[in-house]
Structure 1
Amino acid sequence: MKKRAFVQLLGAAAWTGPVALAQAQEPWPGRPIKVIVPVTAGGTADVLAREFGRRLGERLGQPVVVENRPGANGIPATLAVARAPADGYTLLLTLTQHIQNPVQFKDAGYDPIADFTPLCRIGAAATVLAARASLKVDSATELAQFAPGKGLTFGTTALGPQVILEVFNQSAKLEMLNVPYKGEAPALTDLLGGQIDMALLTVATARAHIQRGTLKGLAVIAPKRASSLPHVATFLEQGFKEVNWTGGWYAFMAPAKLPPAIAARLVQELRVIGEDAAMRKLFDELNITVNWMDGPEFQPVMKRDMELWRSLVQRSGVVIER
C-alpha cells in the first residue's frame, strides 16, 4: 500500500512539474530591468543609458534602472553583466573599451564576443584634441612643427585615448609626455588651469570652452568635422592618416545565451527608440555620429574592430600589464 501511494505521488509530481515550472517562468518583462554603465554619471554614455532606459521602460511597461559602475577601464561593470543571468533583466551600455580591454590587458576576465549578446551599436562620439588657450598653436599641423623638444604634456582619460595620442606622438616624433587621468572632469580642470598642455576629450565636454576661447581645438577624431566645431579640421584632413581611428562606438549588450525571443524584442525596441526624432536630436547635441547596427550584424564588426585596435596598440608602443 505504501509502495503504491509512493508511486502515485511520483506520478503526480511528474505530471504537475512542467505546469509548476511554466507558472514560475513569468512573461518577460515581469519586473524592473537594470542597465549597467561603466562610467560616472553625467557623461555621454550615462546620458544615453538614461534616455534609452526611460523610453525603453515606457515601451515595455517596466521601470529601467541605470546603475553606474565606473573604474578600472570599465572591466568590473562589464564582468557584472557577463556573469548576470541571461534573462533580459541586466543590460550593459558600453563603449569601445569593451573590445579594447581584451587587446590591451593580458587578462581582462571576459571575452567580448563569446560572453555577450550584442543588441545594437548606436554610434560614435567625436573627440577633439583640445589645447590650453595660451599654447602657441592652432592645429595639429602647427603642433607637429612646434612640439619637438618642448616637453609638452597631454592628458588622457583612459587607455584608449592614450593609445591614439601615442600613435600621433610617435608617428609625428613630437616627444610629448602622457599624463593619465581617471576621467574627463579632472583632465579638463587641469587643462583649463594650465597644468597640462592638451587633452583628448569628447566634443560634448570641450566644445563650450573651445567656443568661448578658453581652449583651442587642434583636431577632431571623427569621419567628418563636428557640427558644433565646424572650424576644427579632422586629423585626416590635416594629413595624419595614422590617427584616423573611427571605430569608436556606444552599444547595448546583454549576457550570452539570451533567449532569442527576448533578444529580438530588445533589438526591435531599441531600434525604434533610436529612430525617434527626439533621440536623433539628442545624438546631434552629443555630437554622436550615428552608425546604427542591430546586434546580429554588429558581432562580426566587433571582431574586425578588435584586430584594428590590436594594430594601433602595437604601433603606439604603449605597454600595459594587468
Structure 2
Amino acid sequence: MIDRRTLLALAAAPLLAATAPWVHAQGDDFPSRPITLVAPFPAGSVTDAVTRVLANSLSQQLGKPVVVENKAGAQGTIGAAFVAAAKPDGYTLLVGSSGMFVAKSFYKTLPYDPMESFTPVAAVGSTAMMFVVPENSPLRTIADLAAASKKQPVSMAYGSPTGQVAVALFSTVTQTKPLAVSYRGIPQAITDMLGGQVQVAVVDVGNALAQVNGGKARALAISSTKRYAGAPQVPTLQESYPRAAGALETIIAIQAPAGTLPAVVQKLDTALKQAMASTEVKARFQVLNTSVLSLSSKDLAARLRADNPRWESLMKQAGIAPQ
C-alpha cells in the first residue's frame, strides 16, 4: 500500500524533472537579451563613469547589448532597492560601492538587506576620498582646514556614503565639528564647492583630480592608507592625524539580485574578469583615477564579510547614527 507521502512524491517527480532542464537552460543560454547595469549615482559620478566603461566591455564579451540606467538618490539606496526587487535572472545588475553594502549602519529602515538581498558577482575597482577646496581658497593644507574648523564650523560637502564617513572621521580625529552638507551626488557637491556655496568637498579621487588637474581646485588630503600614485604630492589624512589609522577606501562591485543562478553568476564573473584584464579597460580606469581591483564572486563575498565589521567600527568611531 502506498502512503500519502509517497504518493505526493510520485506526483511531484514529473514536475521536478521538467523544471530541472528549464533551470539549467536559463544558465546555458544566458544572455539571450540586453543586460541593464544600474548606476545608483548620477551621471558624472565615478560610479557612473565606471559603469559605462564596463557596459561597453561587457557587451563585447557577452555579445549582447549592455545598457546603463541611472537610478540616483538616497546615497545609492534607491538604485540598490530597484535591483534587489528585480527578477534574479542576471539581466538587472547593480554597480555599487562599499558604503552601500553597509547601508544598515546609515539607515534605520531599508526596503532590502545590503548583504542578503544580493548575490556578489565581481569586484572591479577601488577608490578613496579626497578633501578638496577651490584653488583660490586660503586653506593650503589639511592642518589649515582643522585650524579653521576649530574657529568656526567649516562647510563640507559630500555626495556619497564614503564621503559622509570621511567627513565624520575628520571631525573625530581633529576634534572639530564641520558643517556636513549632503548632496544627491558628487557632481553637485563639486559644483557648489567651486561656486563658493560650500568651502570643502569630500569626493572620490577621480572627480577630485579632474578639478585639481584642471587648475580649479586644490587637494588637501586623501583617505587611503598610502598616497595615491597619480597624485603623490597629496598626503594621507593619517600622516597628520595618526588617529585616522587604516584606509578608508571603497570598492566598486557588481551585484545581482539574491537567488541568481550560479551558472549565470559564473558567466558574468568570467566576462568581467576578461574585461578587467583588457588594456582598454585598464587605460580607461587610469583616466578615471580608479584602481583596478578584480575579485571573483567568491572573493568578493569574502571581502564584503571582512569589510563590513570594519566599516561599522569606523562609522561608530566617526559618530554616525542611523537616520
For the criterion TM > 0.5, the same-fold answer is yes
| Structure 1 position 171, deviation (Å) | 2.4
- 2:262 corresponds to 1:273: no
| Equivalent residues, number | 308
Match of 1:18 in 2: 18
Structure number with greater Rg is 1
Match of 1:259 in 2: 261
Match of 1:96 in 2: 98
- 2:61 corresponds to 1:76: no
Match of 2:6 in 1: none
- Secondary structure in structure 2 of the residue aligned to 1:147: helix
- Secondary structure in structure 1 of the residue aligned to 2:68: strand
Q: 1:36 aligns with which of 35, 38, 56?
A: 38
- 2:269 corresponds to 1:283: no
Match of 1:158 in 2: 160
- Secondary structure in structure 2 of the residue aligned to 1:248: strand
- 2:218 corresponds to 1:216: yes
2:205 and 2:23 mapped to 1: Cα distance? 50
2:104 and 2:280 mapped to 1: Cα distance? 35
Match of 2:110 in 1: 108
2:214 and 2:282 mapped to 1: Cα distance? 26
Match of 2:133 in 1: 131
| Structure 1 position 299, deviation (Å) | 0.9
- Is this contact kept in 1: 2:124–2:292, CA < 8 A? yes
Structure-2 change in CA distance of 1:199 and 1:263 (3 Å) = same
| Structure 1 position 130, deviation (Å) | 0.3
Comparing 91-100 with 156-165, greater Cα deviation is found at 156-165
- Is this contact kept in 2: 1:164–1:243, CA < 8 A? no
| Structure 1 position 212, deviation (Å) | 4.5
| Structure 1 position 223, deviation (Å) | 3.6
- 2:321 corresponds to 1:319: yes
Structure-2 change in CA distance of 1:42 and 1:210 (3 Å) = closer
Calculate the aligned-residue CA RMSD, in Å.
2.6
| Structure 1 position 243, deviation (Å) | 6.3
Comparing 131-140 with 183-192, greater Cα deviation is found at 131-140
1:28 and 1:214 mapped to 2: Cα distance? 46
Structure-2 change in CA distance of 1:213 and 1:24 (3 Å) = closer
Match of 2:9 in 1: none
Match of 2:310 in 1: 308
TM-score normalised according to structure 1 size: 0.86
- Is this contact kept in 2: 1:153–1:196, CA < 8 A? yes
Q: Which amino acid in 2 is paired with 1:122?
A: V
- Secondary structure in structure 1 of the residue aligned to 2:239: coil
1:129 and 1:204 mapped to 2: Cα distance? 12
2:44 and 2:83 mapped to 1: Cα distance? 21
Q: 1:192 aligns with which of 177, 191, 194?
A: 194
| 1:190-222 C-alpha deviation (Å, 9 max, x unpaired) | 211222211102222222432344322100122
Structure-2 change in CA distance of 1:209 and 1:31 (3 Å) = closer
| Structure 1 position 147, deviation (Å) | 2.9
| 1:133-188 C-alpha deviation (Å, 9 max, x unpaired) | 34333221333334311332211213431222112113212232112222222222
Q: Which amino acid in 2 is paired with 1:160?
A: T
Match of 1:248 in 2: 250
Comparing 117-126 with 265-274, greater Cα deviation is found at 117-126
Moved beyond 4 Å, runs of 4+: 21-26
- Secondary structure in structure 1 of the residue aligned to 2:235: coil
TM-score normalised according to structure 2 size: 0.86
| Structure 1 position 23, deviation (Å) | 11
1:189 and 1:90 mapped to 2: Cα distance? 31
Unaligned 5+ runs, structure 2: 1-13
2:315 and 2:230 mapped to 1: Cα distance? 30
- Is this contact kept in 2: 1:124–1:248, CA < 8 A? yes
| Structure 1 position 54, deviation (Å) | 1.7
| Structure 1 position 29, deviation (Å) | 1.4
